Amino acid sequence: MRVVADPDALDRRFDAAPDPIGQGKRELVLAPNRGRFVRKCPGTMGLVCCNYWVIDLAEGCSLDCSYCVLQGYLNDRRIRLATNIGDLVDQIDAELARWSGPARFGTGELSDSLMFDPALGLGAELVEIFRARPRATLELKTKTDNIGGVITAPPASNVVLAWSLNRPSVIASDEKGAAGLDARLAAARKAVEAGWKVAFHFDPLTLGPGWEEEYSDVVNRMFDAASPDNVAWISLGALRFHPSMKKIIKRRHGESGILGAEFVLCPDAKMRYAKPLRRELFRKMKSFIDARAPSAPVYLCMEGIEMWNAVFGHGPARACALESVFG
Amino acid sequence: MKGVTFASLPLADINPDQRFCFSHPVSSDSLLDSVRENGVLQPVWVVGDEAGEKTLVSGFRRLDAAARAGLPTIPALVFAVTAPYDLFIRHLDENTATRELNSVELALAVGSAIANFGKSHDEVMDGLAPRLGLERSRKVLDDLLAIAGFGPAARELASAKGVAPGRAAVMASCGDGDRETLCRWLLDHRFGVNKSLKLFETIMEIAEAEKIPVENVIEDVETSITDDMDPPARAARMFDLISARRNPQLEKMKNDFAAAVKSAGLPGGVEIIPPANFEGRHIEFRIRAGDAKTAVTRARAVADAGEKKLNPLFKWI
């Protein structure tokens, strides 16, 4: 550990390292965030927006998922953690003052919400900030099982602990450093038992040998761990990536099989599975969920209204269970 | 210039030092024509040692052209023995000042600095990369070293104008044998650089996804096309077939859509355009007309087709 006056003056990109992205993941910068670190997720034109405010408390992630957009996204390859929590609180209040509807906040956009929680205990601190602001909902999204510091506090009705889930074969090959499926679901069970609301994100859904059986099994195990009454929402998002990510995935994650399926370029300049494949993927997932919890609040991530219609038979406006998300 | 003399040297007396050779391709027919007409106008560089040996360090293309033109001698600047790497850098600077090196030449220069002059990766990034106009990046260096290991066919594709090292390095993603087979096939069919690189990637993806050798993908496409097509049409058809094999769902949507357009029975001059890759919510109905009457007639034909006939066009939404 070293203390420096200006962390930005140090090497931020590690371009001379054999694996600059991996090298960046080994450096943690603790510094005040001098800019805005609460921002409304801009969504993408033509796609349905889910009213999400992103808290960039951390930028960069210690996990190393093959499909992670951050590999090609952040100029500073180090993990940066903001230390000026007081400014964060002011910015949250400013956003809430400007917005009258329900608002979801999350720290899991540019990082994993709980990756450093055993050491830093930021999760518990955020819970208390939001407990005092009941109009807002906080989602702590993770691929870890680091919930010990959070669930020791009394549950907060406006805080949701969320897990990103995938099929075990994808977790094994493409989510390096993340907890296994068993550990994530065990943590979710513990959270529910402690009285917390939970959520699940199947994102990215991937195609590959045995995907139907695997996802069906994951959905069943998910509801074994958390009964539908305790699930705040479930999101479904199919694998998508900027074309430039293909090279990064091949170079850094040669063992990954996620690029094997059929992709097409979409209007938002991202590669996605061809439409019939996505439709099949979402419909199957919806059917697995319906079999256990027909009224569970499910939404699609980064998809257009036509895909909502094809999967749910209606758009988000008619999804009553999701009023708090899309209201 | 101090320590440099001018001489007209017999070609047979000059030994090329391959450490200094990064010109690609070395043989140039246009240069040969010029040499035949005007002789070698610009002296090559040689280093003369105490025993009188003359080693070529710059002018590999000129020497090749002079030999092919049957010239007995070539004008040369003879350098006294000097530090080889310093001369390598001077030779490099001389080249980069007058022309843009292609990806293979950049790769050969960087590869030679490491393999032949014992420079470390860091030394190359710090000292050579700026001279060559390259980003100081390990990835760029890795790409170049991969390209330096390419065989002749892959080099021919990678050295095409406008192909940056990062783009050419796409071809590093497979074994030497597959790469040469594939590149030779692409060159034989004259697909053009952009299509070749796209096909290279697509064929590799097909081979990987279907777990079959590259040769099988090539053979399949060759045997599915009749021999009587003219070469450009044949190449275009092969490109379409390979793309369709990689994107079967997209191909099916295209075919379904074309069938639906046909059965809608709309007149010529009405073009129906789906969004790119069927991603999007709108179909474009484009009416082409040279006068108002035709425009109205064609628009009416669309209206008369009715919802029932037009509905299948929107099935993919």
Distance from B244 to chain A by nearest Cα, in Å? 10
**Residue B241, SS3?**
helix
The amino acid at A182: D
CB A114 within 8 A of CB A147: yes
Whether B249 and A262 lie within 8 Å, measured CB to CB:
yes
Distance from B138 to chain A by nearest Cα, in Å? 5
- The pLDDT value recorded for residue A198 is 98
A99 vs A57: CA distance, rounded Å: 21
State pTM to two decimals: 0.86
C-alpha closest to that of A322 among A112, A45, A49: A49
Whether B250 and A264 lie within 8 Å, measured CB to CB:
yes
B275 vs B268: CA distance, rounded Å: 20
Residue with tokens 């004008």: B75
Chain A residues whose C-beta is within 8 A of a chain B C-beta are 15-18, 20, 46, 247, 250-251, 259-262, 264-267, 272, 274-277, 304-306
CB A92 within 8 A of CB A125: no
Provide the total of helices (H) and of strands (E) in chain A, helices listed first: 12, 16
Whether B253 and A274 lie within 8 Å, measured CB to CB:
yes
Cα distances (Å, whole numbers) of residue B145 to A22, B95, B106, B112: 21, 20, 9, 10
For residue B305, the tally of other CB atoms under 10 A from its CB is: 16
Beta strand B14-16 with B44-48 is: unpaired
B188 vs B174: CA distance, rounded Å: 20
Per-position pLDDT tens, chain A of length 327: 778 888 888 888 888 888 999 999 999 999 998 888 898 877 766 677 777 899 999 999 999 999 999 998 888 999 999 999 999 999 999 999 998 888 889 998 899 999 999 999 999 999 999 999 999 999 999 999 999 999 999 999 999 999 999 999 999 999 999 999 999 999 999 999 999 999 999 999 999 999 999 999 999 999 999 999 999 999 999 999 999 999 899 889 988 999 989 999 999 999 999 999 999 999 999 999 999 999 999 999 999 888 999 999 988 776 655 665 554
- The pLDDT value recorded for residue A322 is 64
Question: What residues in A contact B173, CB-CB < 8 Å?
Answer: 250
B31 vs B9: CA distance, rounded Å: 19
CB A111 within 8 A of CB A76: no
Beta strand A231-238 with A175-176 is: unpaired
Half-sphere exposure of B87 (CA within 13 A, CB side): 22
- The pLDDT value recorded for residue A161 is 98
- Between A and B, how many CB-CB pairs are < 8 A? 70
Whether A17 and B275 lie within 8 Å, measured CB to CB:
no
Residue with tokens 């355009």: B273
Tell whether ipTM is more than 0.90: no
C-alpha closest to that of B176 among B203, B154, B144: B154
- The pLDDT value recorded for residue B1 is 62
CB A200 within 8 A of CB A222: yes
Whether A275 and B316 lie within 8 Å, measured CB to CB:
yes
- The pLDDT value recorded for residue A326 is 56
Beta strand A136-142 with B14-16 is: unpaired
Beta strands in chain A (DSSP E): 28-31, 38-40, 52-55, 58-59, 64-65, 79-82, 103-106, 136-142, 159-165, 175-176, 197-205, 231-238, 240-241, 263-265, 271-273, 298-300
CB A43 within 8 A of CB A49: yes
Put simply, whether B316 touches A (Cβ < 8 Å) is yes
C-alpha closest to that of A28 among A56, A2, A66: A2
Distance from A179 to chain B by nearest Cα, in Å? 28
Question: What residues in A contact B317, CB-CB < 8 Å?
Answer: 306
The secondary structure of B281-306 as a DSSP string is S--EEEE--SSHHHHHHHHHHHHHHH
Q: Which of B174, B249, B253 to mutate to test the interface with A (most CBs of A within 10 A)?
A: B249
pLDDT < 70: residue spans in chain B: 1-2
Residue with tokens 């990062």: B166
Q: Dihedral sign, CA of A294, A296, A300, A305?
A: positive
